[in-house]
A and B are shown apart, each in its own frame.
Chain A
Amino acid sequence: MMDINKAPIMNQPIMKEPKMDQPKIVKPDYKEPLILARNLTKVYKTQKTRLRALAAVDIDIYQGEFVAIVGTSGSGKTTLLSLLAGLERPSAGRIVIMGRGIHRMTEEQLVDFRLRDAGFIFQSFNLFEILTAQENVAFPLMARGVGKQERMERAKELLTRFQLGKHLHHKPGELSGGQQQRVSIARAIIGEPSIIFADEPTGNLDSHNADQIIDILRDISKSRGTTVLMVTHDVERATHADRIIKIEDGRIV
Chain B
Amino acid sequence: MKIFDILHLAALNLYRRLGRSLLTVIGVVIGTTSIIIMIAIGLTNLAQFDEMLQGAEITKIQVSGNSTDQGMGGGRGARLDDAAVSAFLDIEDVDRVVPVKYLQAHAEAEKYHADYLNILAVPAKDLPSMAELKKGIYPREESLMPQIIMGMGAAKQFIETERDYLNRDYRGPAFDWLKTPIHLYLGGRDLKDDKDMPGSRQYRADIVGIIRDRNEEYPNYDIYMSLERVKDIQRENHKLVRELNGDINSYDIAYVYADKMENVKTILKRLNDYGYEAYSDTEWIDEMQKQQRSQQGQLAALGFISLIVSAIGIANTMMTGVLERRREIGVMKVVGVAIKKIRDIFLVEAAMIGLLGGLAGVLLSHIFAYSLSTGSEETIFLGMYFRAGIKMLIPLWLDMAAMGIAIVVGIIAGIFPTTKATKMSPLEAIRS
Which chain A residues have a beta carbon within 8 Å of chain B's beta carbons? 78, 82, 85, 87-88, 107-108, 111-116, 118, 120, 122, 124, 126, 128-131, 139-140, 142-145, 148, 187, 199
Contacts and interface: CB of A to CB of B under 8 A. Distances in A.
Contact of B336 (A78, A112, A126, A148): A112
B339 A111 contact: yes
B82 to A, nearest CB: 87
Counting chain B CB atoms within 10 Å of each CB, the highest count among A108, A130, A148 belongs to: A130
Contacts of B373: none
A119 to B, nearest CB: 9
Contacts of A143: 1, 332, 335-337, 341
Contacts of B334: 85, 87, 114, 120
B328 A87 contact: no
A131 to B, nearest CB: 7
B430 A128 contact: no
A87 B425 contact: yes
Contact of A115 (B13, B328, B330, B335): B335
B341 A130 contact: no
A129 B9 CA distance: 12
Contact of A116 (B5, B327, B336, B337): B336
A148 B87 CA distance: 85
Nearest to A85: B334
B179 interface: no
A88 B425 contact: yes
B427 interface: yes
Interface string B26-62: 0000000000000000000000000000000000000
A120 B372 CA distance: 60
A131 B336 contact: no
Given A87-B426, A126-B327, A131-B12, A118 B1 contact: no
B234 to A, nearest CB: 95
Contacts of A118: 336
Nearest to B335: A140
Given A87-B427, A126-B327, A126-B430, A142 B5 contact: yes
Contacts of B339: 107, 111
B2 interface: yes
Interface in B326-360: 327-328, 330-339, 341
Given A128-B328, A142-B1, A142-B5, A111 B427 contact: no
Contacts of A120: 334-335
A114 B1 contact: no
Contacts of A115: 335-337
Interface string B412-432: 000000000000011100100
22 contacts: A87-B333, A87-B334, A88-B425, A107-B339, A108-B338, A111-B333, A111-B339, A114-B333, A114-B336, A118-B336, A122-B430, A126-B330, A128-B328, A130-B13, A130-B16, A140-B335, A142-B5, A143-B332, A143-B336, A143-B341, A145-B1, A148-B5
Contacts of A78: 427
A114 B338 contact: no
A199 B431 CA distance: 11
Contacts of A148: 5
A111 B430 contact: no
User: Which 7 pairs from chain A and chain B are nearest by CB?
Assistant: A115-B336, A114-B336, A126-B331, A130-B16, A143-B337, A111-B338, A120-B334
Counting chain A CB atoms within 10 Å of each CB, the highest count among B328, B425, B427 belongs to: B427
Nearest to A125: B331
Interface string B301-331: 0000000000000000000000000011011
Contacts of A85: 334
Contacts of B426: 87
Counting chain B CB atoms within 10 Å of each CB, the highest count among A112, A124, A140, A142 belongs to: A142
Given A78-B427, A128-B328, A145 B2 contact: yes
Given A130-B13, A142-B5, A88 B337 contact: no
Contacts of B5: 142, 148
Nearest to B341: A143
Nearest to A110: B336
Contacts of B12: 130-131
Nearest to A82: B427
Contacts of A88: 425, 427
Contacts of A108: 338
Contacts of B332: 143
A82 B330 CA distance: 13
A204 to B, nearest CB: 13
A139 B335 contact: yes
A233 to B, nearest CB: 15
Contacts of B336: 111-116, 118, 140, 143-144
A126 B333 CA distance: 12
